Amino acid sequence: MTLPGDTQLAAMLERDGVNKDVTAVVDLIDGVIASANGDTRTDWLDLVGGKLGDDLKSALLTLRDERKSEFLYAKDGYDAAARIEALRKYLAAKGVDGFVVPRSDEHQGEYVPACAERLAWLTGFTGSAGAAVVLADKAAVFVDGRYTIQVRQQVNRDIYEYRHLVDEPVVGWIHDNLKSGQKLAYDPHLHTVQQAEHLRGACEGVGAELVAIEPNPIDVLWHKQPAMPVAPVRPHLLEHAGKSNAEKRKQIAEMLEKLECDSAVISAPDSIAWLLNIRGGDVPHIPLPLGYAIINGDASVDLFMDERKFPAETVKWLENDATIRQPGELEEALGALGNQSVRLDEATASDWLRMKLSDAGATMRIGRDPVALPKACKNEVELEGSRKAHKRDGEKIIRYFAWLEEAAADGSIDERMAADKLLALRAEDPLFRDTSFETIPGSGPNGALCHYRNTPETNRKLSPGEIFLIDSGGQYLDGTTDITRTTVIGQPTQEHRDRFTRVLKGHIALARAIFPVGTTGQQLDTLARAPLWEAGLDFDHGTGHGVGSYLGVHEGPQRISKAPNKIALKPGMILSNEPGFYKEGEYGIRIENLIAVVEVDGPVGADRPMLGFETLTFSPIERKLIDPELMTKDELQWLNDYHAQVYAMYADDLDEDLLEWLQKATAPIKKRVA
């Protein structure tokens, strides 16, 4: 249709009872565009208000489509030299000698909105972790091991020095390059309290000064910066949440009393979503509404979130649970917490929050977010939802691999096609809302990159004789899934079978583990690595991460890893079980199921309560890659029992051809008779 002019659009808005002018509607649409999937979703139309006629709906969607190209920084005539020069001029005018640019937003989330991609705007680097430091005469960009190739492809080495984020950290570079008497600026909204302390220590160590700067210089210079995201905030119904908002608020208020805190500032959006039983869509893959909350000792909550995100149903949903306030009111609210003891989250609370509370005279108690542990321990409704989501997800995986076995045989399928097919299958589920992360379809050497990202430049065919690893997951209203399966196109080598079987042995050891209450994931991590260690092998990522309930696929505080972690595993926690092996330049192997911590009966004579794991993910494990001679009788029994469960779970739901495929994929495996 032809896009109406402002006068005609205003008339249509008035006709349909919309209490917004054209400018407000355009601003709303810009926020929608900046949200996750905002260029395709239509559920935002009820945020406009009124009773929209079909002609106005069509006009608004057309307006959205015409405006969306205006806010893509990649199309903004990127010139790295011009941008860093503009930044240096701005900093000089403000009397500072440098600026730190993290790849983070105000909430330290894994995924950030488009408006927070400041590192990408400045340097061209689009990875999910990194930083840059710009001084008057030099600059450096910092990335971790996942992005050492990508940073060289995207960032001009004549402008930026390449540094490793972990081995050659920001503070070390500052210490080596900042001079006595100089001032290094930082945006206090984008650094945690601890991060700011480290920066301050590095500066003071050379006689320099760390100074807060507002507004963020890049926000001033970024002329086509996307708007703050505006995606609808929806109720997360009790049938999925399992516990009411009131029950959760009371639980957290009781925790605050034990912590001797009068209130807590909740800066992690997933904690807010859990606490108030709401979900949003501001960032990719995680159904989060971005904002802040303050929960008080009487269990009342002030929610600081753009009111444009709230359709009438959600306002009603929250009317007895939270007072909705505009984000701009947060500073005043923090100022009113003077003489109180206030909890701040050590992982996500910004240094700006600390500064404002300090100015107000509040006593800050920095520690773990009080919502984190209750959120991690799923109630029975959430666990049952996860079981149902995994059952439906597993059926899609079965259909997928049956298709792949035939489609990839002639070498015509590439990674992108393989990923798109799986997405299409999942999207058939009416409860499916998004992938839980960007699918990782690693063929051959790409599979050896454990956080591989498929791009047009890296896309490969699935070739005969090569390993194919696909790590994927779904966000369903009743649960979050994450599964990795590894297969081989054609026939494997004996090395493939050896490495795969060792990974499988580690997976089984963790799945079968029984351990006393109080055990941490760090203590269990060795179980998954021991079969690889026996061959002088290992993998460099954690064995397991926490998983949310229609929330983040990576959720703390629980994990299974070599890294120190004092959080004991508790019933209701969901984690991944994903040992792997990666041979650089050749292939990658990973076997991942999700598991839930459950109470179990201990062996005869046990003198303390014991815990174990319930496997939630049911999908065949590639038989062609298994060498039964490397496995014990008990390991083979576990595998055959698991495959029997897979077959029984789906036998009544599949047509004859798929059932025949599944029967072969789950057939019992036995050792060869000598």
- List the one residue out of 302, 311, 286, 373 whose CA is nearest residue 334: 302
Distance CA 329, CA 502 (A): 56
- List the one residue out of 382, 383, 396, 418 whose CA is nearest residue 618: 396
Residue 1 has pLDDT above 50, yes or no: no
How does residue 76 score in pLDDT terms, banded at 50, 70 and 90?
A: low
Residue 70 has pLDDT above 80, yes or no: no
How does residue 619 score in pLDDT terms, banded at 50, 70 and 90?
A: very high
Cα separations (Å) of 330 from 326, 327, 334?
Answer: 8, 6, 6
pLDDT digits 0-9 by tens, 424-439? 999 999 999 999 999 9
What is the average pLDDT across 106-116?
94
Can you read off the two tokens belonging to residue 507?
């997976």
Residue 71 has pLDDT above 80, yes or no: no
What is the average pLDDT across 633-657?
96
Can you read off the two tokens belonging to residue 369?
């977010």
How much is the pTM? 0.94
Mutual angle of helices 54-67 and 6-15, in 10-degree steps: 140
Residue 673 has pLDDT above 70, yes or no: no
Q: Is 311 exposed, middle or buried (0-12, 13-18, 19+ CB in 10 A)?
A: buried
pLDDT digits 0-9 by tens, 209-222? 999 999 999 999 99
How does residue 672 score in pLDDT terms, banded at 50, 70 and 90?
A: confident
How does residue 453 score in pLDDT terms, banded at 50, 70 and 90?
A: confident
Residue 75 has pLDDT above 60, yes or no: no
Can you list the positions of beta strands (E) in 96-240? 98-102, 131-135, 139-143, 161-164, 183-186, 209-212, 234-235
- List the one residue out of 589, 541, 583 whose CA is nearest residue 145: 541
Torsion of CA 518, 523, 525, 527, to 10 degrees: -100
What is the average pLDDT across 245-274?
97
What is the average pLDDT across 77-91?
93
Other C-beta atoms within 10 Å of 20: how many? 17
3-state secondary structure of 593: strand
Percent of the chain with pLDDT over 70: 98
State residue 376's pLDDT score.
Answer: 98
Can you read off the two tokens belonging to residue 301?
């909550």
Can you read off the two tokens belonging to residue 416?
């992108």
Residue 315 has pLDDT above 90, yes or no: yes
Percent of the chain with pLDDT over 90: 90
Single-letter amino acid code for the residue at 398: I
Residue 421 has pLDDT above 80, yes or no: yes
Can you read off the two tokens belonging to residue 149?
């190739």
How does residue 74 score in pLDDT terms, banded at 50, 70 and 90?
A: very low
State residue 103's pLDDT score.
Answer: 96
- List the one residue out of 93, 79, 103, 178 whose CA is nearest residue 134: 178
Write the DSSP assignment of 596-611 as a string of letters: EEEEEPPPTT--S-EE
Mean pLDDT of the chain: 95
> Tokens 């092998």 belong to which residue?
537
Other C-beta atoms within 10 Å of 183: how many? 17
Distance CA 455, CA 127 (A): 12
pLDDT digits 0-9 by tens, 326-380? 999 999 999 999 999 999 999 999 999 999 999 999 999 999 999 999 999 999 9
Distance CA 189, CA 232 (A): 24
